[in-house]
Amino acid sequence: MKPQDIHSVIAVLREEYKTWQTPAVTIVAQCNGSPFKVLISCIISLRTKDDVTAQASARIFARAETPEEMVLLSVEEISGLIYPAGFYRTKAAQIAVLSQELVGKYHGIVPDSIDELLRFKGVGRKTANLVVTLGFGKPGICVDTHVHRICNRLGYISTKTPDDTEKVLRNVLPAEYWIEINDLLVAFGQNHCHPVSPRCSTCRVADICGRIGVTVSR
């Protein structure tokens, strides 16, 4: 894939995106989701299927929509609300501590910078970038397993880790695509460009995709 082909890829994925299921955290952000809600949904979503994330987010936000309300819940209550999200007990403890820190140190306001968000235990670059982009509408590139895999599969970049992918994309990806790249590639990865046996035969960008690492496809 040539670097300039990214414009064609984005154009196609924007069209296809309309037919795919929107990622759960994005739905939270679109439904008048505050940065706090985006942050909590991000935590719930780690190693958890989207439908479970959506349901767990809805349950917990029905009880607590702000850090001030969240600190009134016990870890056990939070655990019950986000179950069966992956590692729900660990996440419940993290949400409780994070909410306490937001109330005690930040006056209940979620920071809008990646560096500041990374100060919270359990918040990595993926979550921090997603909060900054979806919660605040500020420039950032959220790289999860789908973004990392697909950018390398296309042959757009060549990196070993998601963190490396973010660094490289900040240098090569046009700024106009920074915020939406995660949504587009997550939906693409979940619905079409699967980790194993992607649907190459019906893919509209197959002619420009490098298919790096693809040994079996449909």
Q: Is 115 exposed, middle or buried (0-12, 13-18, 19+ CB in 10 A)?
A: exposed
Q: For CA atoms 157, 140, 182, 3, give the dihedral sign.
A: negative
Kindly state the tokens that stand for 67.
Answer: 């850090």
Torsion of CA 80, 83, 58, 110, to 10 degrees: 80
What pLDDT is stored for residue 31 in this prediction? 82
| Residue 137 contacts residue 179 (beta carbons within 8 Å) | yes
Find out whether 109 and 102 touch, Cβ atoms under 8 Å. yes
Kindly give the confidence (pLDDT) of every residue in the chain, 218 residues in length, as a single tens digit, with 9 standing for 90 and above.
Answer: 999 999 999 999 999 999 998 888 998 888 877 999 999 999 999 999 999 999 999 999 999 999 999 999 999 999 999 999 999 999 999 999 999 999 999 999 999 999 999 999 989 999 999 999 999 999 999 999 999 999 999 999 999 999 999 999 999 999 999 999 999 999 999 999 999 999 999 999 999 999 999 999 99
The CATH topology of domain 3-20+141-202 is Endonuclease Iii, domain 2 (1.10.1670)
Domain boundaries, the chain: 3-20+141-202, 24-136
pLDDT score for 149: 98
Q: What local confidence, expressed as pLDDT, does residue 156 receive? A: 98
Q: Which of 76, 44, 74, 47 is nearest to 58 (CA)?
A: 44
- 65 in Cβ contact with 86 (< 8 Å): no
d(C-alpha 79, C-alpha 92), whole Å: 5
Which tokens belong to 173?
Answer: 């990806």
CATH class of 24-136: mainly alpha
- The backbone torsions φ and ψ at residue 26, rounded to the nearest 5 degrees and listed phi first, read -65, -40
> How much is the pTM?
0.89
Catalytic residues: 126, 144
CA angle 88, 94, 100 (to 5 degrees): 135
User: Can you give the C-alpha Rg of the chain in angstroms?
Assistant: 18
Which ranges of the chain does DSSP label H, i.e. alpha helix? 6-17, 24-30, 35-45, 50-63, 67-70, 75-82, 88-106, 114-117, 125-130, 136, 145-154, 162-172, 181-191
